[in-house]
Amino acid sequence: MSWLLLQLAVLGVALAAAVLILISFVAFITATKMPHLHQHEEERFFLNARGQKETLPSIWDSPTKRLSVVVPSYNEEKRLPVMMDEALGYLEERQKQDPTFTYEVIVVDDGSKDQTSKVAFKYCQNYGSDKVRVITLVKNRGKGGAIRMEQMAIACGSRAHLEKESIAQRSYFRTLLMYGFHFLVWFLCVKGIRDTQCGFKLFTREAASRTFSSLHIERWAFDVELLYIAQFFKIPIAEIAVNWTEIEGSKLVPFWSWLQMGKDLLFIRLRYLTGAWRLGQTKKKN
């Protein structure tokens, strides 16, 4: 009996090893090179308030603003005004209090099928293209693709302090998915950050150029790879509690999005582990 159990144990270990090798092989051969920041010529430009094309500045250029706020948007014609009104109201008030404070809000329309760009462009006309710019991606690339289109340090907004309240409003299934995702993030990629998926992240220009130029993932798990890269380069990261209010109408489907993120987390780890993706010193690009 003991001999049979030993054989079964050995067989189980062998099968697990074979599966891991197979997954690693698939992760390696399906690894892609870092996507180009601009895949389409049209994405090199934005429209100013008069509707004229202007060349989009690069993150490698000298800074002209104290703060750049990048807003990735996909089919958000109804929710965008709520966010823009509140954000611009705060930024304008901040500028009145401190005239040296300068800002820009960059709305990146991630290939929307609705009127997201037109809604955003109205703010450009009202506030001027010096403060609000709209970039329209020709092809939908996900949250990471949209954000990449814009002393090293990163401040991560965290909703972890709101977790108990949010759990009370979730189903047991969604709570289980949430804890499973948090475990995978901790086990495979990023340690020490309780909320990797919060949409608020503040970068110094140096940190942004170092991390964004090394990204591969363009969809929801991009936040995790971004923080993985930051920890690899030993960029200081601070997690800061924020008050976060969800606006109704989210396009996120929890089960399928978390399934996709789980697959991406595994591939992130395996592709860096096998050397399919490598991190090195970032060089300035034209």
What is the chain's mean pLDDT, rounded? 78
Do 115 and 73 share a domain, yes or no? yes
Higher pLDDT, 71 or 199: 71
Q: Are residues 136 and 63 in the same domain?
A: yes
Instruction: Give the 3-state DSSP-derived string for the chain, with helices as H, strands as E and coil as C.
Output: CHHHHHHHHHHHHHHHHHHHHHHHHHHHHCCCCCCCCCCCHHHHEEECCCCCEEECCCCCCCCCCCEEEEEEECCCCCCHHHHHHHHHHHHHHHHHHCCCCCEEEEEEECCCCCCHHHHHHHHHHHHCCCCEEEEECCCCCHHHHHHHCCCCCEEEEECHHHHHHHHHHCCHHHHHHHHHHHHHHHHHHCCCCCCCCCCCEEECHHHHHHHHCCCCCCCCCHHHHHHHHHHHCCCCEEEEECCCCCCCCCCCCHHHHHHHHHHHHHHHHHHHHHCCCCCCCCCCCC
Q: Which residue has the higher pLDDT, 4 or 282?
A: 4
Do 182 and 213 have their domain in common? yes
Assign residue 63 the CATH number of its domain: 3.40.30
Q: Is residue 22 part of a domain?
A: no
- Residue 20 inside a domain? The answer is no
The predicted model gives 65-79 an average pLDDT of 89
Q: Domain span at residue 233?
A: 151-277
Query: 253 in a domain, yes or no?
Result: yes
pLDDT of residue 120 exceeding 90, the answer is: yes
Residue 282 lies in a domain: no
How confident is the model over 180-212, as pLDDT tens digits?
A: 888 888 898 999 888 888 878 888 888 888 888
In a domain, 261, yes or no: yes
**The domain boundary residue, chosen from 150, 170, 191:** 150
Boundary residue ending a domain (130, 150, 170): 150
Residues 273 and 167 in one domain: yes
Could you tell me if 139 and 231 lie in one domain? no
In a domain, 73, yes or no: yes
Structural domain ending residue among the three candidates 150, 170, 196: 150
Quick check: is 17 in a domain? no
Residues 270, 156, single domain; the answer is yes
The pLDDT of residue 224 is 92
Q: Do 62 and 140 sit in the same domain of this protein?
A: yes
Count structural domains, the chain: 2
- Write down the pLDDT at residue 89: 95
For the ranges 13-17, 39-43, 50-54, which has the lowest average pLDDT?
Answer: 13-17
pTM summary value: 0.63
Residues 28-56: what's their mean pLDDT? 70
pLDDT of residue 9: 65
248-255 mean pLDDT = 63
